[in-house]
Amino acid sequence: MSLFWYRKRVEALAAGTLEGAEERKVREHVRGCDACRAHYDRAVKVRLAVGGEGVRRERDEELLARLPFPGREPEPRRGFAPALIPAVAAVLVAMLVAVLWHPWTRGDDGLRGGDEGAAPLQARLYREQASGKAELLGELPGTSAVRVHRGERVQLSARGAGEVTATLGDLTLRIEASTKFQPAGEAWTVSEPGELVVTDAAGHRVSCRVELEP
Amino acid sequence: MQPAELEAFRKGERQGFEAVFREHAADVRRVVERFMKSAFEQDDALQDVWMSAWKQSATFVPERGPLVAWLKTLAANRCRDLLRARGREPVEYDEDADAEADEPGPEERAEQAQLKSALEQLAATLPADEAAALKAGILSGVSHPDVAAALGINVRQSKYLKQKLLARVLAHPTLGKAGT
Say what the ipTM of the complex is. Answer: 0.75
Residue A53: CB atoms within 10 Å: 11
Least-confidence region, from A40-49, A161-170, B37-46, B61-70: A161-170
Residue B107: CB atoms within 10 Å: 8
Give all strands of the β-sheet with A134-140 in edge-to-edge order.
A134-140, A122-128, A153-159, A184-189
pLDDT at B99: 52
Give the mutation candidate from B9, B28, B82, B156 for the A interface (greatest A CB count, under 10 A): B156
pLDDT-derived band of residue A92, with 50, 70 and 90 as boundaries? Answer: very low
The reply to whether residue B140 touches residue A37, judged by beta carbons under 8 angstroms, is: no
Amino acid identity, residue B107? E
Instruction: List all residues of chain A from 145 to 184 with a beta carbon under 8 Å from chain B.
Output: 161-162
Closest CA to B30 of B7, B54, B5, B49: B49
> Which of A30, A46, A110 is opposite residue B179, by nearest beta carbon?
A46
Give B46 to chain A, closest Cα distance, Å.
8
Q: What span, in angstroms and rounded, lies between the C-alpha atoms of B36 and B82?
A: 10
- Hey, is the C-beta of B109 within 8 angstroms of any chain A C-beta? no
- Hey, is the C-beta of B120 within 8 angstroms of any chain A C-beta? no
Give the mutation candidate from A46, A62, A72, A106 for the B interface (greatest B CB count, under 10 A): A46
Q: What span, in angstroms and rounded, lies between the C-alpha atoms of A39 and A11?
A: 8
Question: Is the pTM higher than 0.80?
Answer: no
Q: What span, in angstroms and rounded, lies between the C-alpha atoms of B126 and B168?
A: 10
Q: What span, in angstroms and rounded, lies between the C-alpha atoms of A65 and B18?
A: 10
Parallel, antiparallel or unpaired: strands A153-159 and A205-212: unpaired
The sign one gets for the Cα dihedral B157, B158, B162, B168 is: positive
Is the pLDDT score of B42 beyond 50? yes
Q: What span, in angstroms and rounded, lies between the C-alpha atoms of A155 and A157?
A: 7
pLDDT-derived band of residue B25, with 50, 70 and 90 as boundaries? Answer: very high
Is the pLDDT score of A159 beyond 60? yes
- Hey, is the C-beta of A41 within 8 angstroms of any chain B C-beta? yes
Which of A54-58, A199-203, B50-54 shows the highest mean pLDDT?
Answer: B50-54
- Distance spanning both ends of chain B, measured CA to CA: 39
Which of A195-204, B18-27, B159-168 shows the highest mean pLDDT?
Answer: B18-27
Q: What span, in angstroms and rounded, lies between the C-alpha atoms of A210 and A145?
A: 6
Angstrom distances, CA of residue A17 to CA of A13, B5, B71, B109: 6, 30, 28, 28
pLDDT at A210: 86
Count of residues in chain A? 214
